[in-house]
Structure 1
Amino acid sequence: MYAHGGHIPQPPHSAGATLKGLRTHIEPHQVPSPVDSIEADRAKWEDQTYMTLPGNHVPQSTTDYVAIDQGNSSPKFIRMSTWNIPSTSRLAEELDIPIVAVIQPFADLDPREEPVPVIECGEEGPPRCEKCRGYINAWCTWTAGGNRWKCNLCGHETEVSADYFSPLDANLLRVDQLQRPELTKGTIDFAVTKSSEYWAPPPPAHLTPSYVATEPPPTEQARKPQPMRHVFAFDVSNEAVHSGFLSAACTSLRIILYGGAAEDGTEIPPSFPPESSIAIITFDTTMHFYDLSPNQATPRMLVVSDIDEPYLPLPSAEIFTHPMASRTVIESFLESLPRRFADTFYSQSCLGSALRAGLSSLAKYGGHILAYVSTLPTLGPGALAPISPEEETKLFEKSHDKTLYAPRAVEWRNLAEECVEAGVGVSLVLAPGRFVDIGSIGALASASGGELFFHPRFDPVRDGPILESQVRRLVSRTTGYNCALRVRSSNGLRPTRPLGNFHLPAPNTPSFGTLDADKAFSIELEHTRSLSTHEYAFIQCAVLYTSAAGERRVRVLNLAVQVAELAGSVFRFADMDVVVSHMARHAMARMSQHTLSIIRDELTELCSAILYSYRRNCAASTAHTQLIIPEAFRALPMYTLAIHKSKPLKARNVAADVRNYNAHRFLGLSVRGMMFHLYPRLLALHDLDDKIALPDLDTGAIEMPSLMRGSYLFMEAGGLYLIDNEELQVLWIGQSVSPQLLQDVFGVDDVADLDTQTTVLPQLPSVLSRQIRNIIAYRRREKGGRATKLILARQNLDGAEIEFADMLVEDHNNAALSYLDYLSLVHKQITAAIQTGASLSPGTSIRAPW
């Protein structure tokens, strides 16, 4: 579309590690590319509908597809590392493919897909197996003329209640089968509000409770479901006020509660759940509570100075209010709050006390706490010793030390457990100017199922709109609280070793204070006996939760998977996206136990082991000098290298807070989010077709442009490129870019005239301007409305180019090898294993000097 210069070299500031020894010659244009696989899969499913019955190849997580539920849950809810499970444990060990399910119980569906059906259950609750307690589903069979049903998980026969009975037809199916979604759909919600058996239990009594109870504990055996309650806790210390963070937080909350106008004049509707109520706490060296009831002109403020034994100065019923009922009071309060603390001189905070007080207000029913934090909590429970700039520099330099990835004070872990027991999730919006110890305070969000948002050196202009979109998504997405989760499997398999952001009170039974649409976790499956290839293997995940509207429900996901006895069949139906996602989670979970170098070595060994197993079992006759990669794992070395280069694990110095924040994200990311974060999407904007990224005149649909490989090798000096890793977007402008291209996108004709501080592209009448803004808007809709920070990077002029260069993971950067060198390393390991007969399974091989 526009004239541009020739290819460009990789800038020297992004150099990585070098490969020792002989290097295998590999042609860069012929190596397996993640982009080729992503684009081929997208083209395949563009005009097809995915039917969920077993036996079909599943679309990649990076593809936008429409699934029709035929009794198996959509892959958007649950994905397997292989859709042909090995029939024996011996075969599974030989292949080195971890047998894993990645589960995202509340995943958002495509608007073209049917919503999850809700089945109303009476006081008895849904039909369940008498033996294993599995829920009735589409894979159960019927016996005794419809009087009994046989559980597909354990084989036990359970008698049908009189109310649920139906006669069978000639095919031994119930006459009312098609009228009962639980017998035809793989994903369903059982509404169990009327059955007190399913209500959340009260939190257990502790010998040393973390707060002073101002109300008698609940006497009932179970807590009646209530609409979700939210506590907003604002840091009002000197750092929060003077950085503009407090003002931005209040403004964003006001817009979320009551709506407002965007910068372009469009109306923003309110997005807070109408049934929910809120309470507001502020804290610095003391805690401040507010009576926001509507029958007063201004809110009453009550100060609690006892931060070691925090308590509520009012009954919780007076602290909570419905936003619409108290609109006048809350709006004026949020507007005046930054002015109220404008002259504060307190530089310390008692975050732990404020969170304990928030827990005290929610302990009776459960709910959610969102805390806005700017300073290291140095007062009250969980107080952390302040760190001098010199000590902070030393921490930065030794960020590979495993002790930095676990809480420094045990109170944070204990408080997290109490929150989960009470059905409370804690999310933190962090805007620190210095080290804030996410390894300690972040453990609270990680264990309770909450969220972390990280805005270091907060800038209201740059970060304010991002903050508003993040909190809007937080309160508006599908969220359950008081969550208990159980994964069951059919005879011969056993779920084990779950990984994610949750608390594990008992083996293999994760509990969440809150669980939302963006959270996923993985769980391994191990063999307890051989499986029959003539039958399916079954997995069922059940989440018992209370919805934001106050309904008690059970979300049930069912999956039937084929069983294979041939290695080739297992590899043919393998799902690389799930394997990579699990590898990354497993690596993050080990950061507090092993040094980062050991974790990186183990990742490489697992990658090599999988490729070596394919070579040994499916392509043994090929020459040992040839690198053989199975179709399903063509990009596995690239994604493994990308995990090495990720911020939690990379060998270069990275601040401990940055590592811990990103490790938290990795543990909860969806499979799709993980793949797009590890290998960021790169687009050549100067080469867009005139019709791409523009609404179709007939359908209104917008087709996205094809991706390109993430390397300077494929870029041009006259180009304009956009890269997006789900957390950050960088718009790279080449030095030889044409003036017309700049005029069409930015309204200037010289690179030197660009405003690199801009956070939003100008709305210009050019076609290219519309296309780029449509692409950014489309990406935002993909993320459920969450905006992504946008920065500009001019070639060889701006420091932001370092971020851009580090996101080109195929290159020689991030203190790690280039993709070509990493392929050579993997090839060396496999060749050595072939020649020596050694094992490549992680932890069993002797690490080579390379």
Structure 2
Amino acid sequence: MYAHGTSSHIPQPPHSAGTPYKGLRAAIDPSQIPSPIDAIELDREKWEEEPYPTLPGKHAPLSTTDYVAIDQGNSSPRYVRMSTWNMPSSSRLASDCEVPIAAVIQPFADQDPREEPVPLVETGDLGPARCERCRGYINPWCIWVSNGARWKCNLCNHETEVAPEYHCALDSNLLRLDHLQRPELNKGTVDFAVPEEYWAPHPPPHIRPLYCSMLPDSSNSRRKPAPMDYVFAFDVSQDAVRLGFLQTACNVLLELLYGHDDSVIPCFPPSSRIAILAYDRTLQFYNLSSEIVGQPPMLVVPDVDDVFLPSTTGFFADPIESRDAIVKLLTALPTRHEQMFDTEAALGSALSASLAALTGRGGQVVVFASSIPTIGVGALEPLVDESSLYGTDKERTLFEPREETWKDIGEQCAAEGVGISIFLGPARPIDVASIGLPSSLSGGELYFFPRFDPVRDAPSFASYFRRLVSRTTVYSGSMRVRCSVGLRVAKQYGNFFESAAADLEFGTIDADKTIVVALEHARTLDDRQYAFIQSAILYTTREGQRRVRVHNLALRVVTLAGNVFQYADMDATVSLLIRESIAKLPSYRFAQIHESLTEKCALILYAYRKFCAASAVPTQLLLPEAFRTLPAYLLAMMKTKPLKGRSVTADVRNYYAHKIFAMSARSVMQHLYPRMLALHDLNDDIALPGANGRVDLPSLMRPSHLFMESHGVYLIDNEDAMMLWIGASVSPQLLKDLLDVDDIMQIDPHMLCLPELPTRLSTQVRNILAHRFAQRGYTPKFTVVRQNMDGAEIEFSDMLVEDQNNAAMSYVDYLCLVHKQIHTALTTGASIASHSGFRSMPW
């Protein structure tokens, strides 16, 4: 511990302006208001030793907790998390409670290493048993009748005859005798290996095809599963070369394919092939055949408006067999274009060519782009000054594609089983709203490095790229969520293409992607029965097997508001509310979206007071246990980059909107309310291996300057950026132990990682960072900030979400505002719902 004898709390660091509270309010001690940290720490203590059994009727661990789930017929909350684990019996009760009903589904979430892997069920030519009426899959909640000859679907109550090959007699408990030997009858999450009828179909011809196909029409209406292929498309225009973006992309790809010394190990999937193309004013295709000696031959397509593949020979290659050709090409590509001065890059045409290469087989496209595409397919005009659009009717156009072709690219990729991930390293605005749409619709991902600097951005670029290639990724996905009688799907949020049949189509979907499904009542539910939800996603693995992953959930049905609130889940509720808010960006102004969030917060807390604590005095602020810190998270939503005040560019807003739309519940919670640690105050035994080999992690602190001291060193992490703030009065010994300097002026503000020192503090902090890397699989950008010395302190201060900043109130003031609305409604009977025109036409 390096704390001084007297505490000296710091004034608020420089920040983007906030909004003061209007009117009088009582003096409130910030340390006495509900803290998200308290709930996070209590939950962590509870579940770090105790496994979580998934049967209905228990509180699920928070998404921020590392826990071990035991699948007892219900899927782990890691895969499916509900906004309330007690389903309201009627739409009236749901409306009274104001708690939205939603499922947060992360089909391929990374498991805790202590958990059993998802079982794979081989079904042969028969395929998995399915309901004849609703097509739901067999699961642990089905009922067996007629001595096992029929089974009753838990979703639609229809009885289906059992195939003779699948028949088994029942025991005295009306369970099959082979119940324990069949994972699909006792596990909530299973994978089914499926026969040919489940192969991905070839999509019908498009009215507006993006390319001239050279492939013959397949006689088979379905495509045979095969290992996932990759196309890497490099922007070789002047900006990409000048910024060092092209050089960095080529270097990192080489490391992922073949490693580097002993420090970087290769991680590319061994069963996959790759293709490489480059683009500027033309498209440049390379023959990577293993027979090639010297530099790979290049075929150029000069007509970027009429895209076609000049040849399919040698375009895809095995990285091991064609190592010489690939290394020579990636090494030569940056230097080959150093003397080229092409300022234009046909990004849309490169995507069309990549789609043409993967048509009929599916796969993944990884694109590197630095220039706005002003020529070729989907050509865009350079952006006008966007500040002139704010506050006008044209403001909403900043959040919509300016050219419909980008939507067509995304839809055709999703239909063909092709996912697009784009690394953006622009020097100037690049119109993320347009060119990011193919990624959003195909289930891919965006990575954004504005004003790319190789020294500053290369480490995080490499980390994100490695995570993209190494995480669980599948392709040609099609997903449907089914509910039991009385419930229906109302809305679905995420990065996918929703077909006319309401199926979700994914070119690719990976371990980090999450879908949020809002549910509503179709009729009253029977509180003597469970309510059921089943998610099924049909996909092809990276190794080339066709499977269905099924998640099942049984929920208790309740008739009292108190029971709904008792088992409400804030993580899932927040995940839904932020997606609903971001979805409003093309239709509503920021102030209206903020007003809607505050109204929703007040309505939920008012409903609890009205139906669960009516006898309490109106002046008392009573909060349901599950939603004690809901105001903190809703305020944090207003401070996120997509939704905050006007100091954020449209590209940044659209990038974060794309990112948040597919975030897991854990990532959403940690992005909204950053994790903050006081490094100068660590106990001697924390974050070091104990006698049992386990590493205990330190407690977090609240992200507010009110709890910081000028002699402190603090680490803050919001999943996207990690910052180390060093107080002006810091102890020289602490600096020596952590950074190997003894004066704050000697600190290099441009350092990209902490030095590896033999001191206890250095080991503790590096263990904490290693744990966070293991949790999410990548390392975000790292920045060192010195108090009152570095410009990045503004960004650090804006991450202190409890403070008054980001064009919004402080947490204390916001809590007063919400309480005032609830108090007014309780004492006057006035409606909390605003009448300021939010529900009228906004533009």
The aligned runs of 1:480-499 (5 Å cut-off) are 480-499=474-493
1:790-829 superposed matches below 5 A: 790-829=782-821
SS at match of 1:371: strand
2:507 match: secondary structure: strand
Deviation string, structure 1 residues 461-508 (Cα, Å, up to 9, x no partner): 221121111111111111111111000011111112001111111253
Q: How does 1:286-365 map to 2 (within 5 A)?
A: 286-297=282-293, 298-315=295-312, 318-365=314-361
In 2, Cα distance between equivalents of 1:419 and 1:846: 36
- In structure 2, the partner of 1:43 is 45
How big is the shift at 1:190?
A: 0.3
Give me the whole-angstrom Cα distance separating, in 1, the residues matched to 2:532 and 2:279.
50
Contact 2:73 2:141 in 1 (8 A): yes
Q: How does 1:10-49 map to 2 (within 5 A)?
A: 10-49=12-51
**Residue from 825, 832, 835 that aligns with 2:824:** 832
Q: How does 1:263-662 map to 2 (within 5 A)?
A: 266-297=262-293, 298-315=295-312, 318-387=314-383, 391=385, 394=388, 401-506=395-500, 508-662=502-656
Which amino acid is the alignment partner of residue 589 of structure 1?
A
* Equivalent AA in structure 2 for residue 819 of structure 1: Y
Contact 1:392 1:435 in 2 (8 A): no
C-alpha deviation, 1:841, in angstroms: 5.0
- Mapping for residues 661-740 of structure 1, pairs under 5 Å: 661-696=655-690, 698-740=691-733
State the Cα deviation string for residues 293-320 of structure 1 (Å, max 9, x = none): 10011211111001001100112x5311
Question: Structure 2 regions of 5+ residues with no counterpart?
Answer: none
Describe the shift of the 1:436–1:685 C-alpha distance in structure 2 as closer, same or farther (beyond 3 A): same
Q: Secondary structure at the match of 1:486?
A: strand
Structure 1 residue 843, shift from structure 2 partner: 7.5
When normalised by structure 1's length, the TM-score is 0.97
Q: Paired residue for 1:228?
A: 228
CA shift at 1:27, angstroms?
Answer: 2.1
> Which one-letter code corresponds to 1:87 in the other structure?
S
Q: 1:653 to 1:200 in 2, by over 3 A?
A: same
**Structure 2: distance between partners of 1:754 and 1:523:** 48
- Kindly indicate whether residue 734 of structure 2 is the aligned counterpart of residue 741 of structure 1: yes
Alpha-carbon separation, structure 1, partners of 2:87 and 2:336: 62
The SS at the match of 2:113 is coil
1:715 deviation in Å? 0.6
For 1:751-762, list aligned pairs within 5 A: 751-762=744-755
Q: Does the CA-based 8 Å contact 1:399-1:655 persist in structure 2?
A: no
CA deviation string 1:444-463 (max 9, x = no partner): 11111100001111111221
> Which shows bigger deviation, 324-333 or 88-97?
324-333
Out of 133, 149, 157, the position equivalent to 1:131 is: 133
Give the aligned partner of residue 98 of structure 2: 96
Distance in 2 of aligned mates of 1:838 and 1:549: 60
Instruction: Quote the Cα distance in structure 2 between the aligned partners of 1:124 and 1:841.
Output: 54
Q: 1:401 Cα deviation (Å)?
A: 2.0
Deviations 1:557-589 (A, max 9, x none): 000011110110000000011111110011111
Report the more deviating stretch, 581-590 or 722-731. 581-590
Corresponding position of 1:201: 201
Structure 1 unaligned blocks of 5 or more: none
Inter-CA distance 621–84: structure 2 relative to 1 (3 Å threshold): same
Q: Equivalents in 1 of 2:468, 2:768: separation in Å? A: 23
Cross-structure match for 1:122: 124
CA contact (8 A) 2:386 2:650 kept: no
Task: Kindly indicate whether the alpha-carbon contact (under 8 Å) linking 1:495 and 1:523 is maintained by their aligned counterparts in 2.
Answer: yes
Q: Per-residue displacement from partner, 1:586-612 (whole Å, max 9, x unpaired)?
A: 111111111111111111111110000
Q: Give the C-alpha shift of residue 24 in structure 1.
A: 3.9
Q: Percent identity?
A: 56
1:116-195 to structure 2, matched below 5 A, reads 116-192=118-194, 195=195
Residues 843 and 487 of structure 1, relative CA distance in 2, 3 Å threshold = farther
Greater mean alpha carbon deviation, residues 216-225 or residues 84-93: 216-225
> Is the 2:276–2:286 Cα contact (8 Å) retained in structure 1?
yes
Shift of 1:397: 9.4
CA distance in 1, matches of 2:643, 2:501: 27
Q: Deviations over 1:64-109 (max 9, x none)?
A: 0000000100000000000001001100011110000000000000
Q: Which moved more, 1:775-784 or 1:811-820?
A: 775-784
In structure 2, C-alpha distance between the alignment counterparts of 1:555 and 1:477, rounded to whole Å: 17
Q: Distance in 1 between matches of 2:668 and 2:52?
A: 22
Kept after mapping to 2: 8 A contact 1:217/1:364: no
Change in Cα spacing, 1:845 to 1:68, as seen in structure 2 (3 Å) is: farther
RMSD: 1.6
SS at match of 2:638: helix
Q: 1:400 deviation in Å?
A: 9.6
Query: Could you tell me how far 1:846 is from its partner in structure 2?
Result: 8.5
Structure 2 counterpart of 1:827, which letter? H
SS class of match (2:164): coil
- Which of 754, 758, 764 is equivalent to 1:765? 758
How far does residue 704 in structure 1 lie from its aligned partner after superposition? 1.1
Task: Indicate if the aligned counterparts of 1:731 and 1:792 stay in contact, CA closer than 8 A.
Answer: yes
The Cα shift of 1:398 comes to 8.0
Q: Distance in 2 between matches of 1:822 and 1:399?
A: 29
Q: Is the 8 A contact 2:13 2:793 kept in 1?
A: no
TM-score by length of 2: 0.97
